[in-house]
Homo-oligomer: A and B are copies of this chain.
Amino acid sequence: MSGEEPQMQQAKARADLPPWEQPDSVGIVETKSITFAEPPNEMPLDSGAKLGPITLAYETYGQLDPRRRNAVLICHALSGDAHVAGYHSPEDRKAGWWDGMVGPGKAFDTRRYFVICPNCIGGCKGSTGPSSLNPATGRRYGRTFPVVTMADMVRAQKALIDHLGIKTLLTVVGGSMGGMQVLEWAITYPEMVWTAIPIATTPRLTAQGIAFNVVGRQAILDDPNYRDGDYYEHEPPTRGLAIARMLGHITYLSDESMHQKFGRQLRDKDDYSYEFDVDFEVESYLKYQGQSFVERFDANSYLYITRAMDYFDLVAKYASVEAAFRSVLARFLVIAFSSDWLYPPYQSKQIVSALRANRLHFAYYEIPSNYGHDAFLLERERISRVISDFLALNYARALDEER
């Protein structure tokens, strides 16, 4: 490594090239998939039920090095998918959801690391979930899909990593729900996880976190179009799902960032309507977020994934966070954001305390930010700096050491 800060290595944008040909882009990528756990070898779930066959949609960027020590597993958040970086086609107007972090010269430098991101089971972005066809019935699962947990999601990811012939992961990284999976990985497969980067997450969802999920789910369940989850041949419950998403968005931002972004600005008018139309920019923003979400997300997946988050509780499972981490071997980089009130820094500090109690290596960064929970998607520069240093150091260690 040169003396320059790593993020300075990122290539300059070139005005003469389209986004997917920029030197720091992973370019045109495709979503792949594997299918496993074919009956009668279904995967057992925490609930006692079994699930199979399981398809996992995933993307990869970069190359596995000859010693297979450069694999980075990215776990996405509630509404995320396998498409982390790059474009699916030249017509694609939007890059992957963490494109600022993954690519040549970026924090997850694809010249150096092999990056993998699977869509979670229970989801609706190519992996098996409630909107998938159940081969046993020829119909979509709907509510017959079994409730899955973070551990189940991680168990399915493990099958993918095995399939790719990878024995150790240089890092497992993710924000929010992705961070819960990072913790599950480090705990469940300690020999496989060299380092772990949980961002803006928690060792267990709080009562307030459950409460927000409850309200969002209730809006979906109460939508007459929900039809007990059997809506795939009818109008979907878009109104309920939009409300859940609008509420979610409030929790992803902060009071301060909403003030800065919208304040009390009116939308295309000089005075109040004295009606229930859209008067404020923030109303317009939320309604837009709700409406655009329903075009790309399945209401049942919203229920299943939020339920998996409700159930995430290392304390219940292991008696304490400290006990949960007893078998962990990974070095940790824990990141929290000052204005995140959905997963506030005190929750990351509970992880840190448990790491300390287990004498594990860790670094903790509480990044000052006004962006709230969304900071994990928006504070690219600050996160990049700490992650690229941490990764470079640990990749060097991984190459040096036997384990």
Residues of A within 8 A of B (CB): 46-49, 146-147, 204-208, 210-212, 214-215, 217-219, 221-224, 239-240, 242-243, 246-247, 249-250, 253-255, 258-259, 261-264, 272, 274-276, 279-280, 282-283, 286-287, 290, 303, 307, 310-311, 313, 315-316, 341, 344
**Inter-chain contact B316/A282, CB cutoff 8 Å:** no
Q: Say how far A17's CB is from chain B's closest CB, in angstroms.
A: 38
**Inter-chain contact B243/A208, CB cutoff 8 Å:** no
**Inter-chain contact B214/A286, CB cutoff 8 Å:** yes
Which of chain B's residues have a CB closer than 8 A to the CB of A316?
A: 264
Which of chain B's residues have a CB closer than 8 A to the CB of A255?
A: 206-208, 341, 344
Which of chain B's residues have a CB closer than 8 A to the CB of A344?
A: 255
Which of chain B's residues have a CB closer than 8 A to the CB of A217?
A: 276
From B212, B249, B311, contact of A250 by CB (8 A): B212
User: Counting chain B CB atoms within 10 Å of each CB, which of A250, A259, A262, A279 scores highest?
Assistant: A250
From B204, B219, B261, contact of A264 by CB (8 A): B204
From B206, B210, B275, B280, contact of A210 by CB (8 A): B280
**Inter-chain contact B276/A211, CB cutoff 8 Å:** no
**Inter-chain contact A282/B211, CB cutoff 8 Å:** yes
Which of chain B's residues have a CB closer than 8 A to the CB of A275?
A: 147
**Inter-chain contact B279/A310, CB cutoff 8 Å:** yes
Which of chain B's residues have a CB closer than 8 A to the CB of A263?
A: 207
Q: Say how far A203's CB is from chain B's closest CB, in angstroms.
A: 11
The CA of A205 and the CA of B286, in the complex, are separated in Å by 17
The CA of A47 and the CA of B274, in the complex, are separated in Å by 6
Could you jot down 13 A-B contacts, CB within 8 Å? A49-B274, A146-B274, A206-B255, A206-B258, A206-B264, A207-B262, A207-B280, A208-B254, A211-B249, A215-B247, A255-B341, A276-B303, A341-B341
Number of copies: 2
The residue in chain B whose Cβ has the minimal distance to the Cβ of A48 is B274
**Inter-chain contact B259/A214, CB cutoff 8 Å:** no
The CA of A48 and the CA of B240, in the complex, are separated in Å by 35
Which of chain B's residues have a CB closer than 8 A to the CB of A49?
A: 274
**Inter-chain contact A286/B215, CB cutoff 8 Å:** yes
**Inter-chain contact B287/A218, CB cutoff 8 Å:** yes
Which of chain B's residues have a CB closer than 8 A to the CB of A311?
A: 272
**Inter-chain contact B146/A214, CB cutoff 8 Å:** no
Which of chain B's residues have a CB closer than 8 A to the CB of A212?
A: 250
**Inter-chain contact A214/B261, CB cutoff 8 Å:** no
**Inter-chain contact A214/B283, CB cutoff 8 Å:** yes
Which of chain B's residues have a CB closer than 8 A to the CB of A261?
A: 207
Q: Say how far A340's CB is from chain B's closest CB, in angstroms.
A: 12
The residue in chain B whose Cβ has the minimal distance to the Cβ of A266 is B316
CB contact under 8 A between A282 and B243, given known A47-B274, A224-B224, A276-B303: no
Which of chain B's residues have a CB closer than 8 A to the CB of A341?
A: 255, 341
Which of chain B's residues have a CB closer than 8 A to the CB of A253?
A: 208
The CA of A207 and the CA of B262, in the complex, are separated in Å by 7
**Inter-chain contact B210/A222, CB cutoff 8 Å:** no
Which of chain B's residues have a CB closer than 8 A to the CB of A259?
A: 206-208
Which of chain B's residues have a CB closer than 8 A to the CB of A254?
A: 208
**Inter-chain contact A208/B258, CB cutoff 8 Å:** yes
